[in-house]
Amino acid sequence: MGPQTAKSTSSVRYQPDERPPRALAAGLGLQAAVLVFTPIITLPLVVLKAADQSEAYISWAIFMAVIISGITTLVQAVRVGRFGAGHILIMGTSGSFIAVCITALTEGGPALLATLIIISSAIQFALAARLSLLRRVVTPVVSGTVLALIVISIAPVVFDMLTDVPEGTPASAAPVCVVITLGTIVALSLRAPDAWRLWAPVIGLGGGCVVAAFFGLYDVQGVADAAWVGLPNIAWPGLDLTFDGRFWLLLPSFVLVTLIGAVDTIADATAIQRISWRDRRAVDLRVVQGAVNADGLGNLLSGLAGTIPNATYSTSLSLAELTGVGARSVGVYIGLIFLGLAFLPKVTALLIAIPAPVVGAYVFVLLALVFVQALKLMVQDGIDARMSLIVGIGFWVGVGFQNQAIFADSLGETLGKVLENGMTAGGLTLLALLLFMELTAPRRSRLAMELDIAGLPKLDAFLRALAARMRWNSVAVERLCSAGEEALLSLAHQEEDETQREGRRLLVVARNDHGTADLEFIAALGEDNLEDRMLILREQVDRPGERELSLRLLRHYASSVRHQQYHDIDIVTVRVDGSG
């Protein structure tokens, strides 16, 4: 049984742990697969064509890209060990790697590309394993900003799709297709009953395709010529293990793009939790770690297979938001459909034939929803003046580079190609500013003790010494010490069996954050989340027990409480205001 949560008025119809009807889950899986299948196969095609690769290798790379997308989407949905999020997170070919992959193919061929992808994938495994060390850098604010930059990066492509029709097509063709598709989806999503709202994207796509066929935009001949079942010839490129100058020259670019891709995955894995549950709950960082591990697995498999790396698609967020279905069974169907499509060229051709204006109108709606989710992530924990400056600079640097308005001709070919992606440029700016803030922050005080209420006197002395250095008045000192006491009591009651608490260690890290005491209680705890418990208490009016009383008092004394759960440790952050 999952953790209880506070009441909400969410429109979620099916949570991740619920099972919608099979026909509904399969239908939603199909519409999601239709949406993202085109970039999965066209992105490798663009990269390999630009690098002048053979037709045999192109066919092999596209086939393996689809297979790996299916496998990793399944892993994300079902969560195998520490791999996967347990949510709908669609995996597909990454557009962030286009520039560096073309360079690698041009400089050293497919074997060098495969080696670089395999080596750089280790970054994601390392990041997932030690995500707790980056908790002050990779925050919801950063995740939300990166998510917004993803929308900004994709938007020009989508806008081009809205008018992408062959020469000689009537001028009204593209606008009519866009209006019908977009209008149908929006109208059904806003006013149709829930049962119809679930199918709004499919109905909109269908209506757009019918109108497109009237204008002659649907490629029926390409569908007719494709085989029903087929496999490409094996064209595995092997690995380049010479590790010569070309490898070392290109490796930093691959590591950089891989790191930015991991931040993208963190943003998606954080946001999908916010929109997949009916009731508000704290973000589970173990889910985020699983998502990053699955992303790393996808890149590792891509390197071993000799194809382009993959990434999470933010389409997952808008699909769950638009349909109200967050059930992981939908993710299972999406993965299975990908695997099936890899062996069905005719079905693939049927999906590829959907005209660009129709797909563009569909994606337009989804991008709008993703952007709103990004804004919600940014403000969920509050933004002070310093964080506002960091977010603003990071976002607009990303927009500037995306539109080639900043140093367009001054960065050289390789670095310029990497930074022309707004997500990469803005994400790096955010990370650099946050690292600067972290490195220049006041020195933190530390206290190591056993996770036991017998350590209260030691904790009290530690906090009073902190308050003395901050020159707080007696009222603020008592509030700080009371908050620390209730935090320790709450943590000590995490394990009901006292024998399970024996030997548990607690590290308390404290610092002065411009007049506010920032306390971190770091320990290995149980499954319960204190944030969730505090949300539940807001709805309860019954007489609380000892544990609930500690949580109520903690909420009273502290200005904010945040519980971050990782696989290796739990971190409870308590902020106490020294004013008043």
Largest Cα–Cα separation, the chain? 83
Least reliable range by pLDDT among 380-384, 431-435, 555-559: 380-384
Q: What is the pLDDT of residue 2?
A: 40
What the chain holds in terms of domains, given with CATH numbers, is 22-227+237-438 (no CATH), 445-577 (3.30.565.10)
Q: What is the mean pLDDT of residues 525-554?
A: 58
Q: What is the pLDDT of residue 471?
A: 87
Residue 503: pLDDT band by 50, 70, 90 thresholds?
Answer: low
Find the length of the chain.
Answer: 580
Q: What is the pLDDT of residue 293?
A: 94
- Name residue, tokens 């931040």: 263
pTM: 0.70
Q: What is the pLDDT of residue 297?
A: 95
- Name residue, tokens 């299972």: 332
Could you please report the per-residue DSSP string of 413-430?
Answer: HHHHHHHTSHHHHHHHHH
Interatomic CA distance for residues 210 and 216, integer angstroms: 10
The dihedral through the CA atoms of 460, 461, 464, 466 has a sign that is negative
Interatomic CA distance for residues 54 and 43, integer angstroms: 16
Indicate the residue type of 516.
T
> What are the tens digits of pLDDT across the range 387-405?
889 889 988 988 888 887 7
- Residue 108 β-bridge partners: none
Contact partners, residue 94, CB within 8 Å, separation at least 6:
43, 261, 308, 309, 310, 311
Calculate the average pLDDT of the chain. Answer: 80
- Residue, of 460 and 130, whose pLDDT is higher: 460
Interatomic CA distance for residues 131 and 281, integer angstroms: 20
Interatomic CA distance for residues 113 and 253, integer angstroms: 12
Taking alpha carbons only, the member of 234, 252, 239 closest to residue 109 is 239
Taking alpha carbons only, the member of 44, 31, 68 closest to residue 359 is 31
Residue 546 sits at the vertex; the CA angle it makes with 543 and 550, to the nearest 5 degrees, is 100
Interatomic CA distance for residues 126 and 424, integer angstroms: 20
CB 115 within 8 A of CB 303: yes
Structure tokens at 481: 């010490």
> What are the tens digits of pLDDT across the range 219-232?
777 777 777 887 87
Q: What is the mean pLDDT of residues 249-256?
A: 77
Q: What is the pLDDT of residue 119?
A: 94
pLDDT at 7 over 60: no
CB 313 within 8 A of CB 40: no
CB 402 within 8 A of CB 296: no
Structure tokens at 433: 């500013």
Classified as helix, coil or strand, 509 is strand
- Name residue, tokens 């506010």: 516
Q: Report residue 235: phi and psi, to 5°.
A: -135, 50
End-to-end alpha-carbon separation of the chain, Å?
43
Sheet holding 570-577, edge to edge: 445-450, 505-513, 516-523, 570-577, 560-565
Q: What is the mean pLDDT of residues 341-355?
A: 78
Which letter, b or e, does each residue of 6-30 get, where b requires 16 or more Cβ atoms within 10 Å of its Cβ? Answer: beeebebbbbbeeebeeebbbbbbb
Structure tokens at 267: 């943003």
- Residue 577 β-bridge partners: 516
Taking alpha carbons only, the member of 118, 152, 130 closest to residue 255 is 118
Beta-carbon neighbour count of residue 161 at 10 Å? 21
R_g (Cα) of the chain, nearest Å = 26
Residue 329 CA, chain-centre distance (Å), reads 19
CB 561 within 8 A of CB 382: no
Structure tokens at 237: 């490129």
Indicate the residue type of 164.
D
> What are the tens digits of pLDDT across the range 505-523?
888 888 887 778 888 888 8
Interatomic CA distance for residues 185 and 203, integer angstroms: 7
Element (H, E) at 565: strand 560-565
Least reliable range by pLDDT among 245-249, 445-449, 534-538: 534-538
Structure tokens at 417: 């190609």
Contact partners, residue 524, CB within 8 Å, separation at least 6:
504, 568, 569, 570
CB 564 within 8 A of CB 551: no
Q: What is the pLDDT of residue 354?
A: 77
- Residue, of 349 and 320, whose pLDDT is higher: 320
CB 310 within 8 A of CB 65: yes
The dihedral through the CA atoms of 84, 87, 93, 97 has a sign that is negative
Beta-carbon neighbour count of residue 132 at 10 Å? 17
Q: What is the DSSP letter of 495?
A: S
Beta-carbon neighbour count of residue 235 at 10 Å? 18
Contact partners, residue 78, CB within 8 Å, separation at least 6:
84, 86, 328, 331, 332
- Residue 200 Cα distances to 29, 161, 190, 359, 439, angstroms: 14, 20, 10, 14, 49
Residue 240: pLDDT band by 50, 70, 90 thresholds?
Answer: confident
